[in-house]
Structure 1
Amino acid sequence: MPLPATRASVSPWLTVALLCVGQMMIVLDQNIVNVALPSVQGGLGLSSENLVWVVNAYVIPFGGLLLLAGRLGDLFGRKAVFLTGIGLFSASSVLCGSATGETSLIASRFLQGIGGAVASACILGMVATVFSDRRKQAQAIAAYSFASAGGGAVGPLLGGVLTDLLNWHWIFFINAPIGVALVLVGMRVLPGGRGERAGGGIDFLGAMLVTSGMMLLVYTIVDAERVGWGAAQTLLLGPLSLVLLVGFVVRQATAADPLLPLRLFRSRSLAAANIVQFLMIAGMFGLLFFGTLYLQRVLSYGSLRAGIGFVPIAVVIAAVSLGLSTRLITRFGHRAMLLLGLSLIVGAFVMLSFARVDGVYLVDFLPAGLVMGLGFGLAAPAVMGLGMTAVAPADSGIASGLFNTTQQIGGAIGLTAQSAFVSARTNNLTAAGKSEAESLVGGYHVAFLAAAGFSLAALVVGALLLRAAPSAGRGRDGMASPERDASLC
């Protein structure tokens, strides 16, 4: 989209930096809450049953609204949608921090999830269209990847610092000044105007089907661990959510202005990249969640010390994403770096599956974490580049929302599956007379192996569905080829 004349002197990198700060703030909030949950529970007197809804109340609307928000950005302008989302996210963060009871906190977290979805759905689409130059575009996507991965790794540290030095309220209050700054600066530096598809309409029926279907699916997944996969609730709501999503697909095939044009999936790169993203994130959630539990419950780390334990991983991700990955992708192509990164991730999870009960951080966790950071720093920019550069600028908002949706669903399914494996293995070891620490570590071993399995599946999909192409150009579907090494057809 051409930039307005008033923005002629604004560096495109300032735009990328602002968007990456917004992405990091949203990702941080998804992870910063976990280490503060015990303090939140003590401060508000939440029951163990309702404590999980401090997390779920955010995840459910976030996962359900991404596609709709991405399309709204294409129709009405990504700047307006992004700033609206940031404003709602910041205001609801203040409400979260000011909550005096579980009802007000959970309701505010729901609003925060809506704001996070509306803002983040457009970010990747905006980042991917700032530059037309291939190399600079790859650098911008790499910066976005770092903001996403680095925010996830730094979240436990910042949560521990704010909770230990101040109180749990500040894990939410910290978003307010950042959000205000983003809105004020964004109003001046972000490209304005109507969306690329400003003349199109809104598929309201499709929007209702996908939003209700996705929210119901996420709810079913995140609550299945509590009620059980064989419970009546799960067996009823799970198929119902799938029926709604199938109805959405049928609607998209017939609607005049579909919310998610099915022609996008003619691109092998876009379809395969989303599958790889789904599987990769399904595995990566195991590191953040069960890695933190291993440090805290087995190595007896406090919340702050456990957060510090993730800092080296964030540093490696930053170094690789912001520096090394772009040069390697330019030299060897997205596909090669994706496969290399996924191979490293699989190896790192296998290493973690050997973590000991009487382990030492420098031996049992850090080496695997550094390999993980290297692998993710290579794989994340590559998979996003493969997907986003296969999409026309007019559809970058919905493609961004699609990538975020597969990430959220992948994380929810992956973490739920791994949690079920951990519970079963831990209970079996406890029944066999093992100590609590031995039972926990045995369960974590299974989680890390399951995460390795998800990552290996992503590697196989990438190897099979992303083929080397002899030259750059355009695919048979008319979309721009994302890279010389990635076939669209």
Structure 2
Amino acid sequence: MSQTAVKAPSVPDSNRWKALVFIALAQLMVVLDATIVNIALPSAQQDLGISDGNRQWVVTAYALAFGGLLLFGGRIADLWGRKRAFVVGLGGFAAASALGGAATNEAMMFGARALQGVFGALLAPAALSLLAVMFTDAKERAKAFGIYGAIAGAGGAVGLILGGFLTEYLDWRWTFFVNIPFAVIAAAGAWFVIREPEGGRNRNPLDIPGVLLSTLGLVALVYGFTRAESNGWGDAVTVGMFVASGVLLLAFVITEAKVKAPLLPLRVVTDRNRGGIYLSLGLAIIGMFGLFLFLTYYLQIVQGYSPVKTGFAFLPMIVGMITGSTQIGTRLMTRVAPRLLMGPGFLVAAVGMLLLTQLEVDSSYAGLLLPAMLLLGLGMGTAFMPAMSLATMGVKPQDSGVASAMVNTSQQVGGAIGTALLNTIAASATTSYVADHIGGAASKSQQQLVQLEGMVEGYTSAIWFAVGILVAAALIAFTFVNAGKPGSGPATASADGAEEELAVPVVAH
């Protein structure tokens, strides 16, 4: 196939940009849902009588369903058509959110969260692959992915602000009900505005063994990390989950190499550029997810911020992400190679993280946290946008859903690893610090100060690891991602020319 032989499908300009509004709205809903419920969790736990041992399932049920079913959801989008999968995903997510908001007991809440994860796993890959097939011109693609990348990066922090507002001034149930207008508007807009390019649908039969092996393997992996956080790395079930995950995912790879119509064609992940992106994105998310959690606890418990004030404290990070993605990334994406945005972006974020290793009990927000969060946002926003664009560029049209799903999978698994790994490091450092210093604290106030100092010591110890992880993400981006700068029209081939279809972006034939 020559590069001149393929023309981008004709999708009217106005329709493309209108469609982007509704796709971005849906993406915002899915991303903010990962954090919005965290702030509401204490209130929901009290109202529904959820035990301390079971409360993690409000988060875990969503993570397991979402992370485990993403590849399946991506392939369903390839089979059904992306627009249909997108609208069905939105409708299901709205219904599950209504169920969560109306929950009267813990079983109803856990079921609603699992259902949100199921429909999120259908919705998220469909949204990203719609962008990939609709925006094929390099400059337009840069703008579209700049907006999408800003939302994907900043959505978590937006969730903290919105969650704080809704919990403090209305009721925790509104952290669920708020999804309904988002979903209804996005679904109605998508139905009437999105014109998916003809062709490019995957007509092969569904790879059932691949679906079962990937879903069970990913669920075991995510649950293993989630359980490690609460029960420790040496727990028998935790170890069993990791072993089972390794066996299942190895069997999945072997199966995919043999079947005629695989769920995940190995060419999608073995391409040097895409493999490097999935790996570096996953590592970056490991660092970021742990940070969200630590800063939320630091601001509320150590500094005494209210939920709303905590949410607003994250605004510099949102501003940084939007600036990095829509201004720096979009302007430079058509002028420089992706690795020259991704590598420096991750390094700038690492510098922001490095500042946070200086946290103390009485650290100044303006003097330390604000510049650190600005740098983190700028770096991540600059790196995320070209990464998401390149990860979906050049795959065969019928594989765009599953390629998009791999972006989401690397983020979801990275989030589970980050939360478990960094929490474990922090808890261990806190315990050690308190044990060493509590003996010298005579009064109750001195003991409380030692406890707070121990918490901060735990956070900074974990943040040092996050700095190293972000530096590793930058090195992987510099080393593996070797695609040249995009041309002024459809995307150019990757540097190693390994796949003929890399000569064109994701378009319908």
Of the three residues 152, 155, 162, the one matched with 1:151 is 155
Of the three residues 184, 194, 208, the one matched with 2:212 is 208
2:360 pairs with 1:356: yes
Give yes or no for contact 2:22–2:186 (8 Å, CA) kept in 1: yes
Q: CA deviation at 1:185?
A: 1.5
Give yes or no for contact 2:40–2:172 (8 Å, CA) kept in 1: yes
2:430 pairs with 1:426: yes
Give yes or no for contact 1:317–1:373 (8 Å, CA) kept in 2: yes
**Structure 1 unmatched ranges of 5 or more:** 484-489
Which residue of 2 is the match for residue 185 of structure 1? 189
2:138 pairs with 1:134: yes
**SS of 2:437's equivalent?**
coil
Which residue of 1 is the match for residue 502 of structure 2? 480
Q: CA deviation at 1:146?
A: 1.0
Find the aligned partners of 2:386 and 2:111 in 1 and give their Cα distance: 37
Find the aligned partners of 1:97 and 1:256 in 2 and give their Cα distance: 44
Find the aligned partners of 1:473 and 1:8 in 2 and give their Cα distance: 26
The 1:304–1:414 alpha-carbon spacing in structure 2 relative to 1, beyond 3 Å, is same
Worse overlay, 114-123 or 166-175:
114-123
**SS of 2:471's equivalent?**
helix
Question: Aligned letter for 2:355?
Answer: M
Worse overlay, 440-449 or 225-234:
225-234
Q: CA deviation at 1:384?
A: 1.6
2:224 pairs with 1:220: yes
**SS of 2:500's equivalent?**
coil
Which residue of 1 is the match for residue 3 of structure 2? none
Find the aligned partners of 2:273 and 2:180 in 1 and give their Cα distance: 38
Q: CA deviation at 1:287?
A: 2.2
- TM-score normalised according to structure 1 size: 0.94
Find the aligned partners of 2:316 and 2:300 in 1 and give their Cα distance: 17
Give yes or no for contact 1:356–1:364 (8 Å, CA) kept in 2: no
Q: CA deviation at 1:482?
A: 8.4
The 1:11–1:404 alpha-carbon spacing in structure 2 relative to 1, beyond 3 Å, is same
**Structure 2 unmatched ranges of 5 or more:** 1-5, 439-449
Q: CA deviation at 1:197?
A: 3.1
Q: CA deviation at 1:10?
A: 4.5
Find the aligned partners of 1:273 and 1:3 in 2 and give their Cα distance: 25
2:98 pairs with 1:94: yes
Which residue of 1 is the match for residue 243 of structure 2? 239
**SS of 2:20's equivalent?**
helix
Q: CA deviation at 1:312?
A: 2.0
Find the aligned partners of 1:131 and 1:465 in 2 and give their Cα distance: 25
**SS of 1:148's equivalent?**
helix
2:462 pairs with 1:447: yes
2:289 pairs with 1:274: no
Find the aligned partners of 1:69 and 1:193 in 2 and give their Cα distance: 20
Deviations 1:410-444 (A, max 9, x none): 11111210000001000001101250110010000
Find the aligned partners of 1:263 and 1:100 in 2 and give their Cα distance: 47
Of the three residues 439, 442, 459, the one matched with 2:474 is 459
**SS of 1:50's equivalent?**
coil
Question: Aligned letter for 1:406?
Answer: S
Which residue of 2 is the match for residue 405 of structure 1? 409
Q: CA deviation at 1:2?
A: 10
**SS of 1:259's equivalent?**
coil
Q: CA deviation at 1:258?
A: 0.5
Question: Aligned letter for 2:381?
Answer: G
Which residue of 1 is the match for residue 387 of structure 2? 383
Give yes or no for contact 1:4–1:191 (8 Å, CA) kept in 2: no
Q: CA deviation at 1:89?
A: 0.6
Which residue of 2 is the match for residue 170 of structure 1? 174
Alignment of 1:287-366 (within 5 A): 287-366=291-370
2:46 pairs with 1:42: yes
**SS of 1:330's equivalent?**
coil
2:165 pairs with 1:161: yes
Which residue of 2 is the match for residue 486 of structure 1? none
Find the aligned partners of 1:335 and 1:65 in 2 and give their Cα distance: 30
The 1:113–1:393 alpha-carbon spacing in structure 2 relative to 1, beyond 3 Å, is same
Find the aligned partners of 2:33 and 2:484 in 1 and give their Cα distance: 40
Find the aligned partners of 2:203 and 2:390 in 1 and give their Cα distance: 28
Question: Aligned letter for 1:168?
Answer: W
Question: Aligned letter for 1:126?
Answer: L
Find the aligned partners of 1:197 and 1:139 in 2 and give their Cα distance: 26
Q: CA deviation at 1:252?
A: 0.4
Find the aligned partners of 1:179 and 1:459 in 2 and give their Cα distance: 35
Deviations 1:340-371 (A, max 9, x none): 10110111111001011111211221110001
Worse overlay, 390-399 or 115-124:
390-399
- What is the number of equivalent residue pairs in this alignment? 482
**SS of 1:300's equivalent?**
coil
Find the aligned partners of 2:13 and 2:402 in 1 and give their Cα distance: 29
Which residue of 2 is the match for residue 487 of structure 1? none
Which residue of 1 is the match for residue 89 of structure 2? 85
Question: Aligned letter for 1:306?
Answer: T
- TM-score normalised according to structure 2 size: 0.91
Find the aligned partners of 2:42 and 2:198 in 1 and give their Cα distance: 45
2:442 pairs with 1:438: no
Worse overlay, 325-334 or 31-40:
325-334
Find the aligned partners of 1:354 and 1:163 in 2 and give their Cα distance: 31
**SS of 1:332's equivalent?**
coil
**SS of 1:211's equivalent?**
helix
CA RMSD of aligned residues (A): 2.1
Give yes or no for contact 1:94–1:172 (8 Å, CA) kept in 2: yes
Find the aligned partners of 1:117 and 1:3 in 2 and give their Cα distance: 28
Give yes or no for contact 1:16–1:130 (8 Å, CA) kept in 2: no
Find the aligned partners of 1:148 and 1:174 in 2 and give their Cα distance: 18
Give yes or no for contact 1:121–1:397 (8 Å, CA) kept in 2: yes
Of the three residues 111, 124, 130, the one matched with 2:128 is 124
Find the aligned partners of 1:482 and 1:386 in 2 and give their Cα distance: 12
Question: Aligned letter for 1:374?
Answer: L
Find the aligned partners of 1:178 and 1:465 in 2 and give their Cα distance: 38
Q: CA deviation at 1:50?
A: 1.0
Question: Aligned letter for 1:451?
Answer: A
